[in-house]
Amino acid sequence: MTEANPEFMRMAIALASEGASTGQGGPFGAVIVKNGEIVATGNNRVTSTNDPTAHAEVVAIRAACNILQSWQLTGCELYTSCEPCPMCLGAIYWARPDRVYYASDRFDAAAIGFDDEFIYQEINCALPDRKIPTSQFMREEGLAVFKEWSEKTDKIEY
Amino acid sequence: MTEANPEFMRMAIALASEGASTGQGGPFGAVIVKNGEIVATGNNRVTSTNDPTAHAEVVAIRAACNILQSWQLTGCELYTSCEPCPMCLGAIYWARPDRVYYASDRFDAAAIGFDDEFIYQEINCALPDRKIPTSQFMREEGLAVFKEWSEKTDKIEY
């Protein structure tokens, strides 16, 4: 494991600034590094691409996985200008890089109007208390597909 | 708000089964509905597209937003064959549909080897206890970009 490298964080922050000032989306940037070399970068593009999932980390993870031709970021480090929101934290856990560094945090993001901290709160709410009403429905039929999966002999696990 | 419609959930489950049996990815499917009509569907494509973010809900949300040319799913309902993982729950909260229905849940997914429940646990871990080491770094430089954003007069908020 290497030490945090200010150069990569400075680049993530510069991407955040550039993406916001050119109207691509919110002020967020990310850089993915492997063996001291940049694999891919990303900045928030939600509003310019009509894609609510186009956060800096997700954009960078998708680009890095495409370049590495892998759904795993083993051996990589992710630098992001702000603490990952729950969506991006989930994406990170599915991509499994070795390490994550962030600069500003969810509370700083909340202070300029972003929902990151709100979503962290919602995740721990019981279903009846969620702001987006959510309910379980037809579990038995859903389980049938999981049984198929568990019996599938040629499945690729991730 | 309409009642949950078994037809849409049955379709989400069928997409899960079909996607898994054709080797596209894990056994997960999703359907997005607006005014009783299907806007877009999705199934898990993680392993076939080398995209760890290509979960059924994310695929469906990206497709629906592209069709509606909006980063918001106002007036839409999302049917998903399994409880959204934290990444997908985050994506849902950023897309803001009116309602979510799911069939099987995070514990059912854990029982067939998926990390959903593990990631829910990690989200509530303090940074030093996280399985993917994560640390804050250069917060002051990160905050400078947020200050630029808060002073930007032509920003598009989301």
B29-61 pLDDT per residue, tens: 999 999 999 999 999 999 999 999 999 999 999
| Nearest CB neighbour to B81, from listed A46, A47, A142 | A142
The CATH number of the domain holding residue A16 is 3.40.140.10
Residue entry with tokens 């995070």 = B106
Residue B143 counted as domain residue: no
Predicted complex ipTM:
0.96
Which residue in B136, B88, B45, B25 sits closest to A103, CA to CA? B136
In a domain, B92, yes or no: yes
* Whether residue A3 has pLDDT greater than 90: no
Question: Please, how many CA atoms are within 13 Å of residue B110, restricted to the half-sphere of its CB?
Answer: 10
Do A105 and B139 touch, CB atoms closer than 8 A? yes
Residue B157 placed within a domain? no
Q: What tens digit of pLDDT does each residue of B107-132 get?
A: 999 999 999 999 999 999 999 999 99
Nearest beta carbon to residue A27 from set B122, B135, B149: B149
**pTM of full prediction above 0.80:** yes
A134 inside domain: no
Give pLDDT tens digits for A57-112.
999 999 999 999 999 999 999 999 999 999 999 999 999 999 999 999 999 999 99
B106 vs B84: CA distance, rounded Å:
8
Report the candidate in A53, A58, A57 with the shortest Cα–Cα distance to residue B66: A53
pLDDT digits (tens, 9 = 90+) for A14-31: 999 999 999 999 999 999
Helix runs in A22-126, H state only? 46-49, 56-68, 86-95, 106-111, 116-123
> Which of B3, B7, B37, B57 is flagged as catalytic?
B57
> Which one of B94, B118, B135 would you mutate to disrupt binding with A, by most A Cβ within 10 Å of its Cβ?
B94
Structural domain for B119, as ranges: 6-125
Q: With bands split at pLDDT 50, 70 and 90, how would you rate the model's confidence at A2?
A: low
Q: Which residue in B has a C-alpha nearest to residue A95's C-alpha?
A: B52
- Domain total in chain A: 1
pLDDT digits (tens, 9 = 90+) for A124-140: 999 999 999 999 999 99
* CA atoms within a 13 Å half-sphere pointing along the CA-CB vector of B135: 10
